[in-house]
Structure 1
Amino acid sequence: MSDTLVTAEIQQSEIERMTRIVNTVVAKLDKQAENIIRQGMIWAVQSAARETAPGRAASPSKLADKFKYRPITRYRGSLNRYAYEVNGKTRVWETERRLSKKSLEKSNKRRLTREIELWSKAAHALVKIPYTGAQTSGKYDKTSRIGRIPHAGAGKACWLKALGRLPGGKPDPASEAAAAPRPHVQVAKSEGEIRMIVENTVRYVDITSPGAAARATTSAANRMAKYYSKLIPELEKEINRI
């Protein structure tokens, strides 16, 4: 049938089940395989978007604050951190010494007591760095650039953007407007075979939402089976045979 979604651990049995559904529907209803595969892929992409955190929000613009802003927490390290300005840029100095209020005023330094969590492309993980904003601010900094998560909801939006790139697909307005990377969508046809491939280019989805693609494949297969069983009474027997 196809290689679906992002690289993920999808059970071969689910792929085979989807293939049997397509083959049965094509044979019994005399429908074109491409149309059946396209519908299955649409359902799979929709399911993947729901399974991708924070995919349960209506659209990226309506996400909760925890998905739009980086959390600011209290620094609990052993070193003392101080911020100072050099040529208009904020620098951070760490030392074992605790500077007095008088020393801070004299050196134009200020003590840092908080840190902010962000995604490191180099480490491929979340890391915490000194937060140099107002130390009295709340859980989120909604005014500065560092406080905002860029492309919030990108994983979800990237999936949904694929809907408009499948053959005959309808674009999702909210996702098309989101500043998210574009998905890779391919349709390959060869003798006796049609392949539709959708790849989510937001690389961290496998960490933030492990198993999303696998669950989406199962969900799409279930939807196809339920829909076409109304038209083909023997469908369940056909697709469950070994």
Structure 2
Amino acid sequence: MIEKYIKHKSESRGHANHGWLDTYHTFSFANYYNPARMGFGALRVLNDDTVEAGKGFGMHPHDNMEIISIPLEGDLEHKDNMGNASVIKSGDVQVMSAGTGVLHGEKNKNSHAPVKFLQIWVVPNKRNVAPRYDQMTFDKKGRENKLQQILSHDPDDEGVWIYQDAWFHLGDLDKDFSLTYSLKRRGNGVYVFVLTGKISIGNHALDSRDGLGIIDAEEIEIKANIDAEILLMEVPMSF
């Protein structure tokens, strides 16, 4: 089996600074359009957002998309027309299945510090479902030198779930530590996003906020060149 790698350096991402929002787009989004970057399989959006104190996104609609939010720093306040009102922080993972349609808004809960979070969109394998919301808090000790599963396709599996044959993991790796990830579904690909630090996958060296897509692999080995935090997303390449 011949593996294919797609590397996205941090500085090659789309970028927009709106004053209240400083955002980087790994894939085409909003005013950033790159025909070579329309997603990675079912992974459609990977946005790296920083929102200034007290600011946020007003109520806006989505449909037929699985939307995952992963706070990195600070407190993110969420409200939607399903009646959910919550605050998520580092260690939490939030998911919405937009389905037939949902309105939601997000803002920085704090008045003194920015909030940083990843917003990720995955194309679902089932359209026009009833909208749903969920969030979970994870013990960060569960990702020390291992991969902690935070999302899957199965409500009875670990983490939150979405309508897609996908699995997400977070890892917090010490310098020189190596681990192997075995794909859970044949035909899936893996996209690794480096949150902090430096890692190597095969001959590919990745720095903070770099991403690497791997296609046609059965397993991948990840080595931390310095202390590193990573997000690993396994998604279908055809859907």
Q: Which bracket does the TM-score occupy, shorter chain normalised?
A: under 0.3
Q: TM-score, normalised by structure 2?
A: 0.24
More relative contact order, 1 or 2 (CA 8 Å, 6+ apart): 1
Higher gyration radius (CA):
1
Q: TM-score, normalised by structure 1?
A: 0.24
